[in-house]
Amino acid sequence: MKMKLRTLALTTLTTAMLSGYAFADVPPGSQGNGEIMFKGSVIKAPCGLAPGQDGDNQNINLGQIADTQLKTVGYSAPKEFKIKLIGCSFDPAATAETKVNVRF
């Protein structure tokens, strides 16, 4: 009986000492005040680029191109590559924003 009473008293005392932390004052400046900043832009696009390879992080090696080829308007040597799109929603009755165009 004395052991149970001693354990109960010790538990009660420990709980009473530690409960002060639960009711401690919140330091000034932490009382619902703060600032959250968002950065970005809103765009009108039917799709997004998938992250990673074949998506938003690509390096296309074009090799060597003679400067005379760049002077000729409309001339280009073809170079195949893929672009992976995600989250696409195409509405056939919608306007031009539902088409994918790529320009270089």
pLDDT of residue 26: 62
SS3 49: strand
More confident residue, 1 or 76: 76
Helix (H) or strand (E) holding 85: strand 85-86
pLDDT of residue 14: 74
pLDDT of residue 33: 66
The encoded tokens of residue 31 equal: 């009382």
Q: Is 42 exposed, middle or buried (0-12, 13-18, 19+ CB in 10 A)?
A: exposed
User: What does the pLDDT look like over 8-26, one tens digit per residue?
Assistant: 777 777 776 666 666 666 6
More confident residue, 77 or 85: 85
pLDDT of residue 77: 72
Give the residue extent of every domain in the chain: 39-104
User: What does the pLDDT look like over 16-56, one tens digit per residue?
Assistant: 666 666 666 666 666 666 777 878 887 777 788 888 877 77
